[in-house]
Structure 1
């Protein structure tokens, strides 16, 4: 049975889907029909955001004005004001709206997120993110973004620390562990990088448990870290000596990594064979 316009809009709100052009079309039709009922205000808010997405600031302003008439001083409506200022390119006024909202309620998550968004990609976004994470520690997207910002500034130790928090929140995510390995590798701590890559590979499992067994990024990370350690075994590392991988273990792991890379199959297998063959000739 096909959904009514009102049901479709409600579903998109629940899913957080924008579909801006379709939303404007359906929302205008619902509102003009007078059949929105108690969903009218949610539909108007949805319409205002969609209109701003499309640059239809006049339509958005009409909805915001109507919402202010029903909910004077509402933080949600004031957020819409800030979004309109952003759409108009008036960043200072938008920031003032969000800052004022945070002075009244420091837990206003949308105001925090808009301030962070306005600060990107400048380094000042880091301080905004840290303030946000002091309140909303369990937001994985924020920790991921913080790590990226630190990496862009060459602050790899801090980037690794941010990923450490992310791995606590998303302890099931092998991708986060792999990212830790990549940052540790960039930092030059190859023993630590290897341990992260090996843990990521363990979490991914083999063909029996891993539906994405054609992925090879982690095993390439393992090979690269091993090569660095074999070439320069005395490099500085944060890993205690008794927990470091021995040369014998490194060579066995290198053979295993080669085996896994060749066994992965999938797209690019011929290129992998060539690279691994050339790498073997140099050893």
Structure 2
């Protein structure tokens, strides 16, 4: 995850390079280090170095890394001729490279040659069945073709081996949510919370999935995870605060007519509502009447 300091430095360098202030190589290295996609900028500034023999020779062995970086950026920008030229240079320098083989498969994907890309990836996997990049490319390829069931299948197979890949669990959860497969999505978020218990993003996502599923037990658990999100964010997450109010209201409706001991206490709802009002007064005072109207509409 990119920190605010890193993002500030990246943006500073980008503005500097765009305005002719130099530092193109430093910018490209930072983009690569932070694993962010600034494909149009990478293509522009990468080519400016590769097309200048003196600048290119100054890179030493890093020249080949730049060819790879520019090739991927060119594919993102659908500049497939540029990507093809970069890959040809790499093929000539590293004729038996599996890394270059992956780029060839990605180029076939970019062209929409799905069968040929699958053939290329299958060949690479025969030599190394645990090639993470190639396995992930299969998932991406299924998604690009709109084959979500295929993407789910490949991701589940991938996670059987690489269980600690948080990004893969999150991607699988998001696919399940998009298909309204909320129970399966909940399982993915449980795995993420177990592995990274201090990340509020996963607590919030899990709470929202449980709230969507509904039912008294799910709503009570969702409320707990909305509360943990608030705790982890210092009380500043408006979605979690709203979640507390929504859960309290829904639980109240489900327990209506029951014994007092079984009913939900309104105390947490009141605290969340007060916090929301304070945030709206500071950030969006004109929308405060809408907030108050929405909160009044929730029956406790």
266-275 or 16-25: bigger deviation: 16-25
Alignment coverage as a number of residue pairs: 267
| Structure 1 stretches lacking a partner, 5+ long | 235-244
| Equivalence for 2:136 | 113
139-148 or 23-32: bigger deviation: 23-32
| Equivalence for 2:274 | 259
Distance 1:247 1:263, change over 3 A: farther
**Are 2:109 and 1:86 aligned?**
yes
Q: 1:250 aligns with which of 236, 249, 265?
A: 265
Distance 1:154 1:11 in 2: 38
Distance 1:53 1:261, change over 3 A: closer
Higher relative contact order (CA 8 A, sep 6+): 1
Q: 1:103 aligns with which of 123, 126, 131?
A: 126
Q: Deviations over 1:117-150 (max 9, x none)?
A: 1111422211111111122222222112212222
Q: How does 1:127-276 map to 2 (within 5 A)?
A: 127-205=153-231, 210=234, 213=236, 215-233=237-255, 246-265=261-280, 266-267=283-284, 268-276=287-295
Distance 1:155 1:4 in 2: 47
| Equivalence for 1:277 | 296
Distance 1:20 1:202 in 2: 37
Contact 2:255 2:263 (8 Å CA) reproduced: no
149-158 or 85-94: bigger deviation: 149-158
Q: 2:53 aligns with which of 14, 33, 52?
A: 33
Distance 1:193 1:42, change over 3 A: same
Aligned to 2:223, the other structure's residue is in SS state: helix
Q: Deviations over 1:189-210 (max 9, x none)?
A: 333333333343244339xx72
Distance 1:18 1:151 in 2: 25
TM-score if structure 1 supplies the norm length?
A: 0.82
Distance 1:123 1:263, change over 3 A: same
Distance 2:204 2:151 in 1: 25
Contact 2:176 2:182 (8 Å CA) reproduced: yes
Distance 1:57 1:90 in 2: 13
RMSD: 2.7
